[in-house]
Structure 1
Amino acid sequence: MEKCNECIKCTVEKCRHHHNAKNYCTLDAIQVGTHEGNPTMDQCTDCQSFVVK
Structure 2
Amino acid sequence: MNNCKANHCIECTVQQCANHCERENYCSLDRIMVGTHEANPTMDQCTDCQSFQLRK
2:32 alignment partner AA: I
1:51 matched to which residue of 2? 53
How many residues in Structure 1 have an aligned counterpart in Structure 2? 53
1:25 alignment partner AA: C
Aligned with 2:10 (options 8, 14, 29): 8
Q: Could you give the per-residue CA deviations for residues 1-53 of structure 1, whole angstroms, max 9, x where no partner exists?
A: 32000000000000000001000000000000000000000000000000001
CA distance in 2, matches of 1:16, 1:42: 22
1:29 alignment partner AA: R
User: Alpha carbon RMSD of aligned pairs, Å?
Assistant: 0.5
4+ residue segments displaced more than 6 Å: none
CA distance in 2, matches of 1:2, 1:46: 22
Identity across matched positions, percent:
62
Aligned to 1:6, the other structure's residue is in SS state: strand
